[in-house]
């Protein structure tokens, strides 16, 4: 059972990273450009619709990366617990 959880979390993490890389490459944005879009201080009503869409995509990318890192920590923790359990049973 723990191995299935580890496998599913690993696949989910990889799919999140892949999807976020696809979104970033489709827009041609680097990570620094994404952070600049998020830090721009001009109000949204002054910006065009295209800039608003870029900002929303930047938020989505950061959310996806955050979820991927959380899943990475989760599956490393599960792997450590599995290894510790196997070691204790020997």
State the chain's mean pLDDT as an integer: 70
Rounded to 5°, the CA angle 37-20-76 comes to 120
The whole domain housing 60 covers: 2-89
Count of domains for the chain: 1
CA 23 → CA 58, 70, 75, distances in Å?
A: 9, 20, 24
Q: Are 54 and 64 in contact (CB under 8 A)?
A: no
**CA neighbor of 23 nearest in space, from 52, 70, 51, 65:** 65
Confidence at 15, pLDDT banded by 50, 70, 90: confident
Looking at residue 56, what is its pLDDT? 73
């Amino acid at each position: 059972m723990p191995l299935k959880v580890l496998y599913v979390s690993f696949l989910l993490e990889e799919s999140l990273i892949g999807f976020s890389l696809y979104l970033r490459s489709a827009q041609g944005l680097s990570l620094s450009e994404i952070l600049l879009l998020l830090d721009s201080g001009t109000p949204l009503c002054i910006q065009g619709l295209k800039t608003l869409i870029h900002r929303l995509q930047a938020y989505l990318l950061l959310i996806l990366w955050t979820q991927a890192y959380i899943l990475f920590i989760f599956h490393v923790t599960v792997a450590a617990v599995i290894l510790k359990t196997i070691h204790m049973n020997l």
